[in-house]
């Protein structure tokens, strides 16, 4: 028993060394901008960069659109399949897993061939169209996470009874969907939203190949041209990821508490 405890601590020690040294290294590097002393100059330089503000704002906007439209697509579909088409669930599970199987670069390659400016649906022919395509590509990327979190949340509520109760009280479909189903699966919607945010905010492949001024390509550009700013950006990106995941945990903890109260 004693050796196993020693080995367990050893494993944790290795893990801590492997995971914390890069973070420490990055942080230390980000402070080195001023010669001979530590300073926050690199962060100042990052935050005052107009391009940082623009690309970061653009990516946040894209993430919000992805979350809103993705959820408007996923929640009604997951609801409908549970209520009326249970035989389609395996098909839906399969489709929503596909973005994990097909690399993002392959998907975007297909878009560029299929929706170029000389095709029937020329998404990439205009800036607006390309932005729409980018949001669609992000919805595709986050489909596995959104669908699974919403479907898990739906498992805990009785969709059929809720729907029948609402119908008896005279509710129409939009009311049932937005005032009855959505609030009840809010925990799933929120956890899907946070993970989507974490994925979309620094996404590189799609944005770069669709040529949109997003945060991911900006990070790459800074990395190729500057010395200390990339580390500061890496720390910022890590903080954002940590924040999204922290909020996700908070939400799932609350949703676990909720049924026990009822």
Partner 1 sequence: MSSASSSFIDRRTIIDWLGIVPFMIFAMMFLIIPTLYLVTGAFFTADGQFTFKNIADLFTPTILSAYWISIRISLASSLGGALIGFFLAWAVVLGGLPSWIRSGLLTFSGVASNFAGVPLAFAFIATLGRTGLVTLFLRDWFGFNLYSTGFNLLSFFGLTITYMFFQIPLMVLILTPALDGLKREWREASESLGASTWQYWRMVGLPILWPSLLGTTLLLFANAFGAIATAYALTGASLNIVPILLYAQIRGDVLHNPNLGYALALGMIVITGLSNILYIWLRMRAERWQK
For partner 1, the closer of residues 167 and 262 by Cβ is 167
Whether the CB-CB separation of 129 and 137 falls below 8 Å is answered with no
**How many C-beta atoms lie closer than 10 Å to residue 225's C-beta?**
9
When binding is defined by CB under 8 A, the residue of 71, 190, 248, 251 that contacts partner 1 is 248
Task: List binders of partner 1 among 70-109 (CB under 8 A).
Answer: 73-74, 76-77, 80-81, 84-85, 88, 92, 95, 97-109
Q: At closest approach, how far in Å is the CB of 68 from partner 1? A: 14
Q: How far apart are CA 89 and CA 73, in angstroms?
A: 15
Residues 6 or more apart in contact with residue 19 via CB below 8 angstroms: none
Q: At closest approach, how far in Å is the CB of 211 from partner 1? A: 10
Q: Of 49-57, 60-68, 133-141, 156-164, which segment contacts partner 1 by CB under 8 A?
A: 133-141
When binding is defined by CB under 8 A, the residue of 59, 130, 131, 140 that contacts partner 1 is 140
Q: Give the chain's radius of gyration (CA, Å).
A: 22
Task: List binders of partner 1 among 218-237 (CB under 8 A).
Answer: 219-220, 223-224, 230-231, 233-234, 237
Task: List binders of partner 1 among 191-220 (CB under 8 A).
Answer: 195, 198-199, 202-205, 209, 216, 219-220
Does 11 sit near partner 1 (CB under 8 A)?
yes
Whether the CB-CB separation of 66 and 74 falls below 8 Å is answered with no
Whether the CB-CB separation of 245 and 197 falls below 8 Å is answered with no
Q: At closest approach, how far in Å is the CB of 158 from partner 1? A: 19
Task: List binders of partner 1 among 157-186 (CB under 8 A).
Answer: none
**How many C-beta atoms lie closer than 10 Å to residue 89's C-beta?**
13
Does 257 sit near partner 1 (CB under 8 A)?
no
Burial class (CB in 10 A: 0-12, 13-18, 19+), 157: middle
């Amino acid at each position: 028993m004693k050796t196993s405890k020693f080995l367990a601590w050893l494993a944790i020690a290795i893990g801590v060394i492997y995971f914390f040294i890069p973070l420490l290294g990055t942080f230390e590097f980000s402070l080195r901008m001023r010669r001979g002393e530590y300073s926050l100059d690199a962060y100042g330089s990052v935050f005052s960069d107009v391009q940082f503000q623009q690309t970061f704002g653009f990516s946040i906007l894209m993430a919000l659109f992805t979350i809103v439209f993705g959820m408007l697509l996923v929640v009604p579909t997951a609801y409908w399949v549970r209520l009326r088409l249970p035989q389609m669930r395996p098909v839906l599970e399969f489709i929503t897993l596909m973005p994990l199987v097909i690399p993002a670069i392959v998907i975007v390659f297909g878009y560029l061939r299929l929706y170029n400016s000389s095709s029937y649906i020329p998404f990439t022919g205009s800036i607006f169209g390309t932005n729409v395509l980018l949001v669609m590509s992000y919805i595709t990327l986050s489909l596995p996470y959104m669908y699974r979190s919403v479907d898990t949340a739906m498992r805990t509520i009785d969709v059929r009874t809720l729907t029948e109760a609402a119908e008896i009280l005279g509710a129409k479909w939009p009311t049932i969907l937005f005032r009855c189903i959505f609030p009840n699966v809010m925990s799933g919607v929120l956890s899907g939203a946070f993970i989507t945010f974490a994925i979309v905010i620094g996404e590189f492949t799609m944005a770069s190949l669709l040529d949109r001024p997003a945060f991911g390509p900006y990070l790459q550009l800074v990395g190729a041209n500057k010395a200390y700013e990339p580390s500061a950006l890496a720390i910022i990106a890590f903080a954002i990821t940590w924040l999204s995941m922290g909020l996700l945990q908070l939400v799932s903890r609350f949703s676990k508490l909720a049924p026990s109260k009822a």
